[in-house]
Structure 1
Amino acid sequence: MGVIADVFSLVFGSRRNALRETLEVFRENAEAGAARAHEMQSAALSQLAAEFQYGGKSRFDRFMDGVNRLPRPLLALGTLALMGASLSDPVWFAARMQGLALVPEPLWWLLGVIVSFYFGARHQVKSQELQHALAASMARVPQVAANIAALERLRAEPPDAATARTEAAAPLDAAAAAEDNPALDAWKARRG
């Protein structure tokens, strides 16, 4: 009898499940894996939301945001103004273009680097703002899911339950009152 008990305790374990532990070496426990994945996703979302938490912007920050928005419109409007100037006063425009022709090539390279760094930095700021907006949206997911579930429960109610409410009965009363409208009846009689 002692040998059989030892075999059973070897296979099933004493207070341990050796069979389950052996299987988990080859195949992950689905419940534990789902719990770990949920914990990891929650931690990642919390970290992302905390990363983008910042208070209101100061006046200087708002001013600098306004200044940062100027170069693109100024470049576009300046180009259109140059096109207009070339049509209205070609001699003046040609003199300015001759002046640009005298600018040395390294200065053009420097201007290109400055402009590309500006627009690259602007792109970086915009992508970070997008990530902030995504984190804020992801933080609202549980509330949205709860709202959708509440709306689905309302859809599942039978029609008799809806007529008992005063909000649902009000449009029905208005429709019934519209049927007893003498002016509408007279208009219908004249038309048909």
Structure 2
Amino acid sequence: MGLIERAFNVVFGNDRNVLRDTVEVFHENTEARAARDVIVRRAALDQFGAEFIAPQRGLFDRLMDALNRLPRPGLALGTLGMFVAAMVDPVWFAARMQGIALVPEPLWWLLGAIVSFYFGARHQTKGQEYHARMAEAMTRVPQVVGAIRALEGSSPGAADTGRDAAAQQQAITPEANTALEDWRESGGREGR
């Protein structure tokens, strides 16, 4: 009895399973692989979800964004409104345009500078935000590549054929299906 017990302790003893540990050197533990796959998929989904969730901003920030969106549509609609006014009441429109013609040139330069700075600053701000988001996304590239490689390696039935052209051709050639061939020969009328 002591000899058998010692043999079992050698193979299975001390909270270790030598037989299982040895087999896992040559064949992957499918349960452990499934657990790792779940972790990889969860991390990928969390990362993709984080890319689409905008940070919460305060009321003041949202109000300023709303006000910053008004000038462009206002200028576009105002220009279209001038065309409509010229067609509806040409005399009223001509009087307004005479008033605009009396505006001194330095005031036009000032207006041009203000509009240019507004749109330029807005363009620069949005460009910097875009580049910051791109830089943040680029820092995640190694994680994404690792997750994709982990998912590619775990797909069932995927075998690396290496540079063997015959093995590649055999892998993509469908196997014969005698039932399907018989059905095609009968004209596909059976079972209708």
TM-score computed with the length of structure 2 as normaliser: 0.51
Q: Which runs of 5+ in 1 are unaligned?
A: 1-54, 160-184
What is the aligned partner in structure 2 of residue 87 from structure 1? 87
2: CA distance, partners of 1:87 / 1:59: 42
What is the aligned partner in structure 1 of residue 59 from structure 2? 59
Alignment of structure 1 residues 24-39 onto 2, 5 Å: none
1: CA distance, partners of 2:156 / 2:81: 63
Change (3 A) 1:129 1:158: closer
2:96 corresponds to 1:96: yes
Q: Which runs of 5+ in 2 are unaligned?
A: 1-54, 160-188
- Kindly provide the CA deviation profile for residues 42-78 of structure 1, in whole angstroms up to 9, marking residues without a partner as x: xxxxxxxxxxxxx642211111111111111110011
What is the aligned partner in structure 2 of residue 124 from structure 1? 124
What is the aligned partner in structure 2 of residue 141 from structure 1? 141
1: CA distance, partners of 2:86 / 2:158: 74
1: CA distance, partners of 2:95 / 2:88: 14
Measured after TM superposition, the shift of residue 123 of structure 1 is: 1.2
2: CA distance, partners of 1:114 / 1:102: 20
- Kindly provide the CA deviation profile for residues 12-38 of structure 1, in whole angstroms up to 9, marking residues without a partner as x: xxxxxxxxxxxxxxxxxxxxxxxxxxx
Q: Kindly provide the amino acid, as one letter, of the partner of residue 110 in structure 1.
A: L
Q: Kindly provide the amino acid, as one letter, of the partner of residue 64 in structure 1.
A: M
Q: Kindly provide the amino acid, as one letter, of the partner of residue 107 in structure 1.
A: L
- Kindly provide the CA deviation profile for residues 130-177 of structure 1, in whole angstroms up to 9, marking residues without a partner as x: 122112211321221122102321447349xxxxxxxxxxxxxxxxxx
**Identity rate of aligned residues, in percent?**
61
Aligned residues: 111
Alignment of structure 1 residues 153-172 onto 2, 5 Å: 153-155=153-155, 157-158=157-158
2: CA distance, partners of 1:158 / 1:79: 62
What is the aligned partner in structure 2 of residue 26 from structure 1? none
1: CA distance, partners of 2:157 / 2:111: 67
2: CA distance, partners of 1:141 / 1:71: 38
2: CA distance, partners of 1:140 / 1:158: 27
1: CA distance, partners of 2:65 / 2:77: 19
Q: Kindly provide the amino acid, as one letter, of the partner of residue 82 in structure 1.
A: M
Change (3 A) 1:61 1:158: closer
Alignment of structure 1 residues 65-84 onto 2, 5 Å: 65-84=65-84
1: CA distance, partners of 2:95 / 2:71: 25
